C-alpha cells in the first residue's frame, strides 16, 4: 500500500486540546482515586503524586470537570469553604462528601499544568448560579462570590477560561433534561449572564448531531458560543457489561468521524463554522457500566447498582482494541482540526480511564501510551494524506452480528518543529502490513514508535506490563519511506531533518 503525504498541503492547525481529558465524581475517579488524603502516596493537599506525574507525562492540556451526569444536580457552593456538608448525588445515588470542589479542582489542574474546564449545572441549576460560579472563579474582588473565594484563601482569581453550559441535557437519562426550545432559552440567558461577569471566557453548550436541537441552540445562543459540545461512546454497556471483542471494536472505527461531519454541516449551513468550533468533550470506545440508575427501575441494594461499577475497573477489558480505536479517533480529530479544537477522553482515571490506580500505585492501560505518542509527536499543522491505489479493507463481525467492511490502515500526518510525524494504525488482528509513505521533498532520519502487545487481547494490570512503547530507527529518508506495521498496532513515524 502507498500513501502520499505532501507537507505543503496543510489542512489546519492541530490544537493540543484534542488530547484533553475528563474526570467526574463517579466511583473511584476522584474520591479514592486522584484525591485520597489518607494515602501515603498523596501530597499535602491530598492528591496522589504518582497519578499527577502520569498525567504530566502525557501532557494533559485541559481537564473537564465535574461532570458528566453528576453536574446536573451539583451545586458548586456546597463544595467550597470550611463548613462543607455532604450531599446526596442524585445522578449516581451516592453521598458526596464535598471535600473535593472548585478550589481543589483548580489546584489539581495547576499541579498537572493543564487548563481547567468547568461544566455547569444546567439541570437543576439556574443561569444565575452558573454566572455566580464564574464570579467566584474569575473576578478580582467585585461581588460577594469573589469575596467568598478570597475568604476561602484564594486571593488571586482562578482565571478559568473554558466553561460549558450543561451536560447531555437532551437525554431522558439526564437530571433536568430539556426540550430543544427550553434548551435554547436557558443557554442564551446563562451565556449572557456568564459573559457579563467575564467577557473573556470561552463558552460551550451541550449538543448532539441533531438538526432540531442544534438549530434551536444556535439560533438562540450562537452569538455567545465559542464551542459546541458533543459526546459519543461506541461500545454501549450501561446496563449489561459485555465488552465488544477486538473485531467488533474495529467495526466501530468505520464511523468515527460521522458525528463531526454532521455537526460541521449544521454549523456550515448556519454560517458559523468559522466562529464556533467543536469540543468533542466526552468520548471513549466503551461506555461506563452503571446499571439500574438511568432507568425507570432503580436498584434497591448495593449489589443492584453500586457494586457492579467495579466491573469498569477490570483491567483485562482494556486491550489493544482500545488503543487502536483511540488512535483512529485521534487521527480523525487531526483530519478535522479545522473545526475540532478540543476533545476529552472520558475519564482519565479508573472506570474506563487510561490510568488505573490502586493502593500501591498505578497501571498505565493501553490507551495511555497512545496519548503519550500523540501528545508528543502529532502536533503542529495537519498535513493532507491520500492513497493512490485504494485502501485495503477487511471484513469484521460487529457486535450486533452483522459483517462490517473497514479500512485496514488508518493514517494521519503532522508537520511540526522541523519534523514530519505520521500516525500509522494497522487494525488487522493477525497480519502485519507493509506500507510505503511517499513524502516528496522530505529528507531526514526516520524513527518508528510502536504501541503494541503480543496479541490483540494483551492488556496491562498490576504486575503485568504486556503493552508498551517500543522504538526503532527506520533509517534515512529521501522522498519516501517503507515501514512494516505489526498486526493490531499503533505507530508514529517521525522524520527529523
pLDDT in tens, 78-118: 999 999 999 999 999 999 999 999 999 999 999 999 999 99
C-alpha cell at 97: 462528601
Instruction: Give the pLDDT score at 389.
Output: 74
Mean pLDDT, rounded, for 235-243 = 98
Q: Is it the case that residue 126 has pLDDT exceeding 80?
A: yes
C-alpha cell at 415: 508537520
Q: How confident is the model at residue 390 (pLDDT cuts 50, 70, 90)?
A: confident
**Domain ranges for the chain:** 15-381, 382-496
Mean pLDDT, rounded, for 384-395 = 90
Answering whether pTM is above 0.75, one says: yes
Q: How confident is the model at residue 381 (pLDDT cuts 50, 70, 90)?
A: very high
Mean pLDDT, rounded, for 438-458 = 97
Instruction: Give the pLDDT score at 30.
Output: 98
Instruction: Give the pLDDT score at 414.
Output: 98
Instruction: Give the pLDDT score at 372.
Output: 98
Yes or no: say if 263 and 312 are a contact pair by the CB < 8 Å rule.
no
C-alpha cell at 226: 465559542
CATH tag, 382-496: 2.60.40.1180
CA of 244: how far to CAs of 82, 399, 481, in Å? 46, 6, 35
State how far the Cα of 262 lies from the Cα of 267, in Å rounded to an integer. Answer: 9
Instruction: Give the pLDDT score at 242.
Output: 98
Which of 250, 222, 218 has its CA nearest to residue 234?
250
Which of 140, 119, 131 has its CA nearest to residue 193?
131
CB atoms within 10 A of CB 56: 13
Yes or no: say if 337 and 344 are a contact pair by the CB < 8 Å rule.
no
| Matching residue, cell 489542512 | 11
DSSP β-ladder status, 162-165 and 62-65: unpaired
State how far the Cα of 284 lies from the Cα of 282, in Å rounded to an integer. Answer: 7
pLDDT tens readout for residues 318-328: 999 999 999 99
Q: Is it the case that residue 358 has pLDDT exceeding 90?
A: yes
Instruction: Give the pLDDT score at 41.
Output: 98
CATH tag, 15-381: 3.20.20.80
Q: Is it the case that residue 286 has pLDDT exceeding 80?
A: yes
pLDDT tens readout for residues 12-35: 999 999 999 999 999 999 999 999
Mean pLDDT, rounded, for 471-491 = 97
Q: What are phi and psi of 155, to 5 degrees?
A: -65, -45
Mean pLDDT, rounded, for 138-146 = 97
Mean pLDDT, rounded, for 57-81 = 98
242 secondary structure, DSSP code: -
Instruction: Give the pLDDT score at 338.
Output: 98
SS3 165: strand
Yes or no: say if 48 and 42 are a contact pair by the CB < 8 Å rule.
yes
The average confidence (pLDDT) of the chain is 97
Mean pLDDT, rounded, for 347-355 = 98
Q: How confident is the model at residue 423 (pLDDT cuts 50, 70, 90)?
A: very high
pLDDT tens readout for residues 393-414: 999 999 999 999 999 999 999 9
| Matching residue, cell 472548585 | 102
Q: Is it the case that residue 465 has pLDDT exceeding 90?
A: yes
Catalytic sites, residue numbers: 168, 282
Amino acid at each position: 500500500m502507498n500513501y502520499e503525504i505532501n507537507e505543503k498541503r496543510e489542512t489546519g492547525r492541530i490544537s493540543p486540546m484534542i488530547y484533553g481529558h475528563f474526570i467526574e465524581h463517579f466511583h473511584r475517579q476522584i474520591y479514592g482515586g486522584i484525591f485520597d488524603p489518607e494515602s501515603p502516596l498523596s501530597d499535602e493537599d491530598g492528591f496522589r503524586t504518582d497519578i499527577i506525574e502520569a498525567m504530566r507525562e502525557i501532557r494533559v492540556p485541559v481537564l473537564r470537570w465535574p461532570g458528566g451526569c453528576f453536574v446536573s444536580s451539583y451545586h458548586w457552593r456546597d463544595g467550597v469553604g470550611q463548613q462543607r456538608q455532604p450531599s446526596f448525588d442524585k445522578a449516581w445515588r451516592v453521598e458526596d462528601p464535598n471535600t473535593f470542589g472548585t478550589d481543589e479542582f483548580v489546584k489539581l489542574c495547576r499541579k498537572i499544568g493543564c487548563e481547567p474546564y468547568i461544566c455547569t449545572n444546567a439541570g437543576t441549576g439556574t443561569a444565575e448560579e452558573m454566572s455566580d460560579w464564574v464570579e467566584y472563579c474569575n473576578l478580582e474582588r467585585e461581588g460577594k462570590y469573589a469575596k467568598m473565594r478570597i475568604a476561602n484563601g484564594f486571593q488571586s482569581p482562578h482565571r478559568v477560561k473554558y466553561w460549558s453550559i450543561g451536560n447531555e441535557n437532551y437525554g431522558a437519562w439526564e437530571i433536568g433534561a430539556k426540550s430543544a426550545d427550553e434548551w435554547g432559552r436557558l443557554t442564551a440567558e446563562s451565556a449572557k449572564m456568564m459573559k457579563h461577569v467575564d467577557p473573556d471566557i470561552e463558552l460551550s453548550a451541550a449538543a448532539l448531531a441533531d438538526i432540531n436541537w442544534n438549530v434551536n441552540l444556535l439560533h438562540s445562543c450562537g452569538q455567545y458560543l465559542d464551542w459546541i459540545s458533543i459526546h459519543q461512546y461506541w461500545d454501549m454497556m450501561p446496563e449489561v457489561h459485555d465488552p465488544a471483542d477486538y473485531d467488533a471494536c474495529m467495526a466501530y472505527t468505520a464511523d468515527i468521524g460521522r458525528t463531526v461531519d454532521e455537526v460541521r454541516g449544521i454549523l456550515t449551513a448556519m454560517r458559523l463554522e468559522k466562529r464556533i468550533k467543536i469540543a468533542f468533550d466526552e468520548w471513549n470506545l466503551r461506555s461506563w457500566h452503571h446499571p439500574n440508575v438511568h432507568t425507570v427501575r432503580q436498584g434497591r441494594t448495593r449489589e443492584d447498582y453500586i457494586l457492579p461499577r467495579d466491573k469498569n475497573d477490570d483491567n483485562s477489558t482494556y486491550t489493544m482494541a482500545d488503543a487502536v480505536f483511540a488512535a483512529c479517533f485521534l487521527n480523525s480529530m487531526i483530519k478535522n482540526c479545522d473545526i475540532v479544537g478540543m476533545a476529552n477522553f472520558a475519564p482519565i482515571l479508573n472506570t474506563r480511564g487510561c490510568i488505573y490506580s490502586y493502593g500501591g500505585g498505578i497501571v498505565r492501560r493501553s490507551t495511555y501510551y497512545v496519548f503519550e505518542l500523540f501528545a508528543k509527536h502529532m502536533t503542529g499543522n495537519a498535513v493532507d494524506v491520500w492513497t493512490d491505489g485504494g485502501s485495503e479493507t477487511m471484513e469484521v463481525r460487529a457486535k450486533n452480528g452483522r459483517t462490517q467492511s473497514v479500512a485496514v490502515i488508518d493514517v494521519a500526518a503532522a508537520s511540526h518543529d522541523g519534523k514530519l510525524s505520521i500516525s500509522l494504525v494497522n487494525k488487522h488482528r493477525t497480519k502485519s502490513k507493509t506500507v510505503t509513505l511517499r513524502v516528496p521533498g522530505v529528507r531526514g532520519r526516520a524513527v518508528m514508535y510502536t504501541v503494541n502487545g503480543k496479541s490483540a487481547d494483551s492488556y496491562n494490570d498490576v504486575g503485568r506490563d504486556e503493552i508498551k512503547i517500543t522504538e526503532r530507527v527506520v533509517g534515512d529518508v529521501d522522498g519516501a519511506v517503507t515501514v512494516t506495521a505489526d498486526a493490531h498496532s499503533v505507530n508514529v513515524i517521525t522524520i527529523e531533518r
